[in-house]
Amino acid sequence: MPLPENRSARRAVHRWLAAVHKFGQASPRVSPLFLFGGPGTGKSLLLHWALETIARQAPQRTAQLLPAKELAEIFLCRDRAAAATPPSASASAPSYDAITVPAPATVTTDATPPDLASATPHAIDSDEVAELRDCDALLIDDLHQFPPPASEALIALLDRRKQRRQATLLTANVGPAQLDRLPHRLTNRLAAGLVVALEPWSATSREKFLRKQLQSRKIDVDAAGSQWLLTQFPGGGARPILGLLNALEPLRKHHAGPLTAELLQRLLPPGPTVATESESDLERIVRRVAQHYRLSPAQLRGPSRLRPILQARQLAIYLARQLTGLPLAQIGRYFGNRDHTTILHACQKIEAQLSDDPSLAHTLRHLRAELS
């Protein structure tokens, strides 16, 4: 859906698609194309839209889309590595089509999945990697979840595709420079292409998207009901809206006529309907914001109304809502059992200040990039 926040990204994807149509003409100015933004800014939606556009407008082109974790499983599969290799294979000449993964340096990171962190690097079967290597368009989602031990194989794949001027599109929650878990050899290659940020959605864009979704799903909600729904996700983008509507859709079939705000509050149970983050994530957000403002987490969650603490608390609440999608009531309980209207006011206060306070906007971007 065209929105002001994704206008630059959509233009970049259009240029990238033009390179797909002209096989072998993907210049470094458009490939690799790297899109980044916080959760819910529409990265994955753009990725799937690009794939559908290729299928519709250029069916003769081949395209592959897969999550970064799945790509890593192709590169580093413990089960395949553990399989017995015929003794004669070690003496045979190496295949030109195979991508060999050098043994990486020791990596210590809590974010690497145990099964992949312990995998043994090995020569990738050329039949498995051939589709990724040779397809006209390769789309990789959520690169921030890519485990470092598979980096050398991805570098080899990107270099091969760049040499052949094939189009590659990748997404992540942060820009290449912030992917500090990955080696510079990889992030430098990502930054060498076209890098485009997707901005967080404004209240106007969230309302536009909500109304479009209600119309397409044929969910009849009156004006007061629509306004109530908007209060349930004052931050974030598509993800919390879609999650709430997915929870609502099966319930509304049993009620005739427009859904009112009162009825919506009864239909949608309290608690997380779209939450994907646990309370530990709220702790992480509060701890980082408190560290930035040189306060303690207890001060942010406490009753103090001193201006520096109040400003930091409101920013932490705004980030918690944007990055977790938790309901207002649940965030309020975490922040000292505050009422959901207080949480809503804090989010609206920060959003209103962003356009007039460049320093606050810079701080928010910095913290969001670290916490995403």
Predicted local confidence at residue 23, as pLDDT: 59
CATH number where 216 lies: 1.10.8
What are the pLDDT digits (tens) for 176-227? 988 989 999 999 999 988 999 888 777 788 888 888 888 888 888 888 888 8
pTM, rounded to two decimals: 0.57
Average pLDDT over residues 72-95: 52
Answer yes or no: are the C-beta atoms of 132 and 74 closer than 8 Å: yes
What angle in degrees, to the nearest 10, is found between the helix axes of 223-231 and 203-216?
A: 130
Dist CA 339 CA 322 (whole Å): 18
Residue 163 and residue 82 share a domain: yes
Dihedral class, residue 348 (left if φ above 0, else alpha if ψ from -120 to 50, else beta) = alpha
Residue 332 and residue 241 share a domain: no
Provide the mean pLDDT of the chain. 78
Of 146, 178, 197, at which residue does a domain stop?
A: 197
Place of tokens 């490939």: 31
* Lowest model confidence (mean pLDDT) among 85-89, 229-233, 325-329: 85-89
Residue 297, domain member (yes or no)? yes
Average pLDDT over residues 51-79: 82
What is the residue type of 179? Answer: L
Give residue 372's pLDDT band: very low, low, confident or very high (50, 70, 90).
Answer: low
Residue 173 and residue 72 share a domain: yes
DSSP code, position 221? B
Average pLDDT over residues 110-130: 46
Residue 272, domain member (yes or no)? no
Answer yes or no: are the C-beta atoms of 64 and 132 closer than 8 Å: yes
The count of domains in the chain is 3
Residue 10 and residue 157 share a domain: yes
46 or 113, higher pLDDT? 46
Q: Which of 198, 171, 192, 163 lies closest to 30 in space, CA to CA?
A: 192
Where in the sequence is the domain holding 285, given as residue range(s)?
Answer: 279-371
Residue 232 and residue 160 share a domain: no
* Lowest model confidence (mean pLDDT) among 51-55, 72-76, 272-276, 277-281: 272-276
Of 144, 170, 197, at which residue does a domain stop?
A: 197
Residue 94, domain member (yes or no)? yes
Residue 241 and residue 127 share a domain: no
Predicted local confidence at residue 213, as pLDDT: 85
Dist CA 354 CA 148 (whole Å): 35
Predicted local confidence at residue 311, as pLDDT: 92
Q: Which residues pair with 33 in a beta bridge?
A: 169, 194
Residue 353 and residue 235 share a domain: no
Predicted local confidence at residue 77, as pLDDT: 65
CATH number where 367 lies: 1.10.1750.10
Residue 35 and residue 175 share a domain: yes
Q: Could you tell me the two tokens for 88?
A: 């004669």
- Among 90-94, 199-203, 294-298, top mean pLDDT goes to 294-298
DSSP code, position 305? -
Residue 301 and residue 361 share a domain: yes
Residue 124 class from Cβ within 10 Å (0-12 exposed, 13-18 middle, 19+ buried)? buried
Predicted local confidence at residue 269, as pLDDT: 57
Predicted local confidence at residue 107, as pLDDT: 36
Max CA distance (Å), the chain: 74
What are the pLDDT digits (tens) for 241-295? 777 777 777 777 777 788 888 888 877 755 444 444 344 688 889 989 998 998 9
Dihedral sign, Cα of residue 65, residue 69, residue 72, residue 78: negative
pLDDT at position 5 over 80:
no
Answer yes or no: are the C-beta atoms of 291 and 309 closer than 8 Å: no
Average pLDDT over residues 114-131: 50
